[in-house]
Structure 1
Amino acid sequence: MRLKDDNDEEEGPKTMSHCSIGHLQPEKSFVIVGYALTSKKVESFLKPKLEGLARNKGILFVAIDQNRPLSDQGPFDIVLHKLTGKEWRQILEEYRRTHPEVTVLDPPDAIQHLHNRQSMLQCVADMNLSDTYGKVGVPRQLVIKRDSSSIPDAVTKAGLILPLVAKPLVADGSAKSHELSLAYDEYSLQKLEPPLVLQEFVNHGGVLFKVYIVGEAIKVVRRFSLPDVTKRELSKNAGVFRFPRVSCAAASADDADLDPSVAELPPRPLLERLAKELRRRLVVF
C-alpha cells in the first residue's frame, strides 16, 4: 500500500506523522488514528518502522493539531492520546459526546483511576490470585497528603518497616511523577514532600517486569530496578536517596546476564488471569 500526495506522485511514501488527510489519495480504506502525544512520546513511539508496518496493515497515523479545535479535525476512527490536564480532559469529554462513533484511547474517566497511585493498586490488592501459578500482591503502603513533619509518627502508627519507597501520589506521566525516593531512617522521612505514597521496600533482585496487554496479546519485558537492600546496608545508610526514573526503556535487562532466580518471566497463566481481572475492574463504560 502506498499513499501519494496530489501534487507529487513521484516521491516516496510520506511520513505518516506529517500526513494531511485532505491531501491523501488512499488506494483502499484506512483506519485513521489521530494522535495527541508529547514530543518526547512521538519521538519514542512513532518510529518509521512502526509507521510502515501500520500502513501495510491499513492504519494511518495523523497528528492532532493541539492549537485547533479537535472537532474541526479528522475524520478519525480512533483518537490516541497521552496528554494530561483539566482542559484537555474537557476537550476529550466533549469530543466523545459529539462523536460517539470514534474510539478514544483511553477514556478520561478510565485514566483518572490510574492517575492516583493509591486507587491504582487497590484493584490489585482486592484480587485473590494465589494458586499454583504464583501470587500477586502489593507492598504495605501509607498515603501522606500533607505535613511532612507528621510522617514519622504516621509510619510508626501504621507499623511500616524501613526502608520505604516514596512515590508521588499523582501518576500523570510528568517527569515529577516518575521521581522516586528511598528513605532509610525515620528522621529522613521528614524531608519528603507530600502528597505521596510510602511503600515498604521489597527486595526483588534488582529486576522488574513490565507487562503490556493489547486485547489477548501479552508482552513482557525485563527492566533494571532498584538493587536489593541488605541488613548491613540498612544499618550503615541514612537519609533519602532520590531516583529520577527507574523503569525506563533505556534500563532494559532483556539481554543482561541475570541470575535465573530473578530473570524467569512470570507464568503465562498467571499473567492471563491478572490481565482478565484488571480489565474487568478497570474498564469504564
Structure 2
Amino acid sequence: MREEMPYGTEEGEGEEVGFPNNTHKRLVVVGYALTSKKTKSFLQPKLEGLARNKGILFVAIDHNRSLSDQGPFDIVLHKLSGKEWRQILEDYRQTHPEVTVLDPPDAIQHLHNRQSMLQAVADMNLSDSYGKVGVPRQLVVKRDASSIPDAVANSGLTLPIVAKPLVNDGSAKSHELSLAFDRYSLQKLEPPLVLQEFVNHGGVLFKVYIVGEAIKVVRRFSLPDVSKRELSKTAGVYRFPRVSCAAASADDADLDPGIAELPPRPLLERLAKELRRRLGLRLFNLDMIREHGTRDRFYVIDINYFPGYGKMPEYEHIFTDFLLSLVQAKYKKRSG
C-alpha cells in the first residue's frame, strides 16, 4: 500500500504541518530506502498513522528506477549498504541539494569501522562536573591470530578482553562478540577484530538513542561483572551472538529504574551535541556503560547508525517531530 500512494492525493493533504503563520500547507514526503527487515521494525502502523495525521507521507524508493526520476522528496531516509548505493545517494545529494538526506553516506561509512567509530569520543576527552566519558583501551588486529597474545601483552591491555568484528555493517555477524579470559585463548579469535578491555559495569548497558536534538535513554541487561577470583579460575573464549544474549535477560523492555541510575542529562546532552557535530550524523545510538563502583565514569563501547528505533519508547512522536523540524528549518531559511 505504501508504494502505491500518489503524491498529493493522500487523505489529509492540505492539513497544516506546523509551518509558521499558516502560510504553507502541503505534505512532507519522505522517501525511504531500507531493508525489508528494517522497514518492518521501523515503519510500524502506529508511526505511519501518526505521521499521516501530521502531514508526513512515507514513500518506498524503487531501486529499479533512477532516484532523480522519483519523488519529489523533502527527505530521503536510508539504511542500505554497498558502494553502488552510496554513489547513487552521493550523486543525488549533489543534484538535489534541496532534499535532506538522512544521513550523508560518507559520514555513515565512518561508523562501519570499529577502529574509527570511537575515535570521535576518544578525541573529545569529555570531562566536566557531571562526569567523564571515554572509551575502553583497545587494539586492532587485522590478521594473524597467532600474534594476538603478544600484541595484547605489548599493548598493556588487561584480561578479560572483549573481541568484536572490525567491520560494523549492521549484519548479525557484526554484532557477535567474544569474551576471552586467558592470554592463550586469544589465538582462537578470528581477525580482523577490535579487542577492547572489559570494564566491569554492573551488568547494565545504557542505550542512548539520538534523533536530531532529542535524546532517549533505555537500560538493558549486559555482560555480568568478572571478579579477579573468577578470572583466575576461568579460561577460554566465550562467544555470544550479541550482548543481550549474554545477559541475565534478553528482554528488550527497559529495566527497572532502581537497577541503575541514568547518566546525568547535561552530560548526555553535551556528548550528543558534540558527536552530532564530529560525526556529521543525526540518527544514531550509543552503547554506554558506567564503570562499576563509580558514579561518574562512563565509557562508550559502540555507536550504531539508524539503530532499532522501534524499541525506543515514544519513538513515533520523537521521529515525526524531528522530520517536521527539518522541513520547518528549511522553510524558515528560504523565507528568511
The number of residues matched between the two structures is: 266
Paired residue secondary structure (1:174): coil
Superposition TM-score, scaled by structure 2 size: 0.75
Query: Counterparts of 2:234 and 2:47 in 1: how far apart (Å)?
Result: 45
Structure 1 position 190 matched with structure 2 position 187? yes
1:272 corresponds in structure 2 to 269
Query: Counterparts of 1:48 and 1:67 in 2: how far apart (Å)?
Result: 26
Q: CA 1:250/1:59 → structure 2, altered by over 3 Å: closer, same or farther?
A: farther
Structure 1 position 80 matched with structure 2 position 77? yes
Q: Which letter maps to 1:24?
A: T
Paired residue secondary structure (1:222): strand
Query: Counterparts of 1:202 and 1:67 in 2: how far apart (Å)?
Result: 47
The superposition leaves residues 256-278 of structure 1 with CA deviations (integer Å, 9 ceiling, x where unpaired) of 4753xxx1011111011111211
1:234 corresponds in structure 2 to 231
Q: Which letter maps to 2:270?
A: R
Superposition TM-score, scaled by structure 1 size: 0.87
> For 1:31, which of 28, 37, 40 is the aligned residue?
28
1:56 corresponds in structure 2 to 53
Task: Work out whether residues 8 and 27 of structure 2, in 8 Å CA contact, stay in contact via their aligned partners in 1.
Answer: no
For the aligned residues, what is the CA RMSD? Answer: 2.0
The superposition leaves residues 155-198 of structure 1 with CA deviations (integer Å, 9 ceiling, x where unpaired) of 01001101100011111111111111111111111111111100
Q: Which letter maps to 2:39?
A: V
Query: Counterparts of 1:224 and 1:19 in 2: how far apart (Å)?
Result: 41
Which has the bigger relative contact order, CA under 8 A and spacing at least 6? Answer: 2
Paired residue secondary structure (2:231): helix
Paired residue secondary structure (1:155): helix
Paired residue secondary structure (2:168): coil
The superposition leaves residues 235-254 of structure 1 with CA deviations (integer Å, 9 ceiling, x where unpaired) of 22211111112259964352
Query: Counterparts of 2:117 and 2:150 in 1: how far apart (Å)?
Result: 25
1:218 corresponds in structure 2 to 215
2:125 corresponds in structure 1 to 128
2:139 corresponds in structure 1 to 142
The superposition leaves residues 43-78 of structure 1 with CA deviations (integer Å, 9 ceiling, x where unpaired) of 111110011111111111111122332222211111
Query: Counterparts of 1:254 and 1:169 in 2: how far apart (Å)?
Result: 29
Query: Counterparts of 2:44 and 2:83 in 1: how far apart (Å)?
Result: 29
Paired residue secondary structure (1:205): coil
The superposition leaves residues 65-115 of structure 1 with CA deviations (integer Å, 9 ceiling, x where unpaired) of 223322222111111011111111111111112212111111111111111
Higher-strand-fraction structure? 2
1:67 corresponds in structure 2 to 64
Q: Which letter maps to 2:80?
A: L
- Unmatched segments (≥5 aa) in structure 2: 15-25, 282-336
Q: Which letter maps to 2:277?
A: R
Query: Counterparts of 1:24 and 1:200 in 2: how far apart (Å)?
Result: 56
Query: Counterparts of 1:139 and 1:128 in 2: how far apart (Å)?
Result: 12
Q: Which letter maps to 1:125?
A: A
- Unmatched segments (≥5 aa) in structure 1: 1-14
Query: Counterparts of 2:149 and 2:54 in 1: how far apart (Å)?
Result: 56
Q: Which moved more, 1:242-251 or 1:145-154?
A: 242-251
Shift of the alpha carbon at 1:205? Answer: 1.0
Task: Work out whether residues 224 and 253 of structure 1, in 8 Å CA contact, stay in contact via their aligned partners in 2.
Answer: no
Query: What percent of counterpart residues are identical?
Result: 82
